[in-house]
């Protein structure tokens, strides 16, 4: 009888532990601030043109609002989204940020060419956008991640998946991304910015079976922003 009671007591402890563990997991998920609207409110559409003597180039990408003041908005994106001609002066480029249904000219660009990052500054407080509020952090393999960007020019397309691992200095996310997603912010379940999409990894140039994106890791993003006291 004593042996039976001991066995039942041990089983009860195991079941109690299992219940507590799952309960904690549920509570953690319930604290998530992530939603499509949360991501969209922090994401902008960026369009660019550049002209030389023999040709003109146009492109589009994504950016994430990292800071707003009364008269300025700071937007993190890729260096290549902020201008294909890296050595060109700003007056040789025309970079625009879409706000509501109008485009606003970028007045200043701060570049990190090595890691393909840039902060573009516009002399306006974007009323329809908010800056990141949960800070910048790092993400680890199997952590859930969320992205909103302009997938193939389609504005504000949502995606979610996991952080899959590392490729040298870059991170890998198992989220479908494609042309137009360059500069998309990568967020974790707590709403922190944990990376910046800069490239795609797929089987061909038409994005068939694309399931991975390459990102600048959160630690590098944070270090770059810290040089400008951002956010």
Give the chain's residues under pLDDT 70. 1-31, 52, 84-93, 202-211
**Fold match between domain 37-122 and domain 144-226:** yes
Give residue 37's pLDDT: 96
Task: Return the pLDDT at 204.
Answer: 54
- Between CA 98 and CA 101 the distance in angstroms is 7
DSSP labels, 141-162? TT-EEEEEE-GGG-SSEEEEEE
What residues contact 173, with CB distance under 8 A and at least 6 apart? 145, 147, 161, 162, 163, 164, 186, 195, 197, 212, 213, 214, 215
Question: Which residue blocks in 31-117 are alpha helix, DSSP H?
Answer: 36-41
Alpha-carbon distances of 217 from 8, 27, 61, 103, 168, rounded to whole Å:
48, 27, 19, 29, 11
Give me the residue spans of the domains in the chain.
37-122, 144-226
pLDDT of residue 207: 54
Q: What per-residue confidence (pLDDT) applies to 12? A: 40
Per CATH, the architecture of 144-226 is what?
Beta Barrel (2.40)
pTM of the model: 0.82
Cα distances (Å, whole numbers) of residue 230 to 184, 221, 223: 18, 10, 9
Q: What pLDDT shows up at residue 10?
A: 35
The CATH number fitting domain 37-122, selected from 3.40.50.1100, 3.40.50.2300, 2.40.10.10, 2.40.50.100: 2.40.10.10
């Amino acid at each position: 009888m004593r042996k039976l009671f001991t066995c039942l007591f041990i089983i009860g402890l195991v079941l109690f532990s299992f219940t507590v563990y799952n309960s904690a997991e549920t509570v953690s998920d319930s604290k998530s601030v992530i939603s499509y609207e949360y991501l969209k409110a922090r994401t902008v559409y960026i369009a660019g043109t550049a002209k030389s003597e023999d040709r003109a180039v146009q492109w589009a990408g994504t950016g994430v609002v990292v800071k707003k003041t009364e008269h300025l908005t700071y937007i993190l994106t890729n260096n290549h989204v902020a201008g294909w001609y890296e050595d060109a002066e700003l007056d040789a480029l025309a970079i625009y940020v879409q706000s509501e249904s109008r485009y606003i000219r970028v007045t200043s660009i701060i570049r990190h060419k090595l890691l393909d990052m840039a902060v573009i500054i516009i002399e306006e407080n974007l009323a329809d956008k908010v800056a990141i509020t949960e800070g910048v952090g790092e993400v680890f393999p199997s952590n859930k991640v969320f992205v909103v960007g302009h997938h193939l020019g389609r504005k504000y397309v949502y995606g979610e998946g996991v952080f899959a691992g590392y490729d040298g200095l870059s991170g890998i996310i198992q989220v479908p991304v494609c042309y137009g997603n360059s500069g998309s912010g990568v967020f974790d379940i707590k709403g922190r910015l944990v990376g910046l999409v800069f490239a795609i990894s797929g089987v061909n140039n038409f994005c068939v079976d694309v399931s991975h994106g390459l990102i600048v890791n959160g630690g590098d993003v944070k270090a770059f922003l810290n040089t400008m006291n951002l956010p």
